[in-house]
Amino acid sequence: MFWKFDLHTTSHIDQLLDKEDVTLRELMEEDDVLQECKAQNRRLLLFLSQDHCMQELVNLITTEPPADLEERSRFKFPNIACELLTSDVSIINDKLGGDESLLETLYKFLDNEPPLNPLLASFFSKTIGNLIARKTEQVITFLKKKEGFIGLVLKHIDASAMMDLLLRLISCVEPAPLRQEVLHVSYQKRLLLQYVISAGPTQFYYHLRQSNASQTLCDIIRLSRDQANQMPDNVECDPLLTVLESQETVTGLLKNMFEGEKSEASIVNGTQVLLTLLETRRLEGLMELYSQGYERSYTVNSSILNAIEPHLKDFQQLLLDPPKKSAILMTVGILEQPLGNARLHVARLVAALLQTSAPSICQELCNLATMDLLLVGPWCCSFS
């Protein structure tokens, strides 16, 4: 006789919503608030989508919590706010993407001086990224009015969350012309390169910014190439990839790597970008030949090789005179001049250049006797 028992239960969320003076913080204290939101609890969604609630949620993920709070609870509400804003519920997406004042509040987060709080940066990136995927046109229309958007994101490139945001712009915004409007290719690619090779102070922050910018640029190159390979032959080449592979761009990167005082970070990060540009791509139409026993054929944009060739002597000099490193005490003695990351990356670059089989590159490497230097270099007898 199950009808004798009332098995219908009312969630505590609904009980709270029955109160006239219930606050957003009270609801966020409930363990099941996110579950109820994703379950499309209509009363809860109507409450959350109110102007003052949405504004508070956005403020929570863009404002540093008071420092006097207990560390364990400082980011409790910002974390819940981020989960609610990115719960992929249409009424919240519509409200956030369609209210310019909320987008302005999010955008102003980028005006903070670096370094950003890494947790808040991740909340911001996740929220903007969700909007880019779900409300693309509204968000892109807003960002097009903000000419400095990419520059502000790059200002905070030391935060890995900003790397993710840039890649989301590349991968999620369709069609391609809309993506290019946001990136402003001809200018922004130079700005990103500036962060790769900029010679700032030696503090950890500057090295991290430079390393993240280099990794982001490498990811953008690979992603743009993957997208280009999936396009029909009659579709115009991705202008972003065209600019990044241009001789002018590569020459600018190399020029800044070798001008002024040598910095191992600039050399390593710049070389990583060059190695990505030199990653070989299979020529279209040769799969059938390969299946018949022929080796794969690959191609590298000639503009990249033309830019690198005049600087081969500079890379040679790096093998002879790399950025100074402290001696290392080893079991066999003191290693006065360790091989170092810069020399290692030069060796990797030479290997990549040899793989291209470009006659002029190979001839210049022979003239410089680079292979002899790599096989029997000064580091082979630097113990004391």
Q: Quick one: 312 and 255 in the same domain?
A: no
Q: What is the mean pLDDT of residues 176-203?
A: 57
Calpha distance 269→234 (Å, rounded): 35
The answer to the question of residue 342 being in a domain is: yes
Number of domains composing the chain: 2
* Residue 356 near residue 305 (C-beta atoms within 8 A): yes
Show the domain range for 334.
Answer: 308-318+328-384
The answer to the question of residue 125 being in a domain is: no
Calpha distance 209→213 (Å, rounded): 6
pLDDT in tens, 52-63: 999 999 999 999
Calpha distance 356→192 (Å, rounded): 27
pLDDT in tens, 290-306: 444 444 444 788 999 99
Q: Quick one: 251 and 312 in the same domain?
A: no
Q: Quick one: 262 and 333 in the same domain?
A: no
The answer to the question of residue 376 being in a domain is: yes
pLDDT in tens, 201-222: 455 556 777 888 888 889 888 8
Calpha distance 31→151 (Å, rounded): 39
The answer to the question of residue 346 being in a domain is: yes
Helix, strand, or coil (residue 86): coil
The answer to the question of residue 67 being in a domain is: no
Q: Quick one: 268 and 341 in the same domain?
A: no
Q: List the helix and strand counts (H, then E) for the chain.
A: 25, 4
Q: Quick one: 259 and 312 in the same domain?
A: no
The answer to the question of residue 54 being in a domain is: no
Q: Quick one: 200 and 251 in the same domain?
A: yes
Judge whether residue 229 has pLDDT over 90. no
Q: Quick one: 195 and 268 in the same domain?
A: yes
| Token pair in block for residue 97 | 């993407």
CA distance readout (Å), 103 to 111, 237, 364, 381: 13, 32, 54, 61
pLDDT in tens, 141-160: 888 888 778 788 888 888 99
Confidence of residue 178 (pLDDT cuts 50, 70, 90): low
pTM over 0.75: yes
The answer to the question of residue 158 being in a domain is: no
Torsion from C-alpha of 310, 314, 319, 321, nearest 10 degrees: 160
Residue in the block written with tokens 């470009």: 358
Which residues are paired to 330 by β-bridges?
A: 333
The answer to the question of residue 166 being in a domain is: no
Judge whether residue 161 has pLDDT over 90. yes
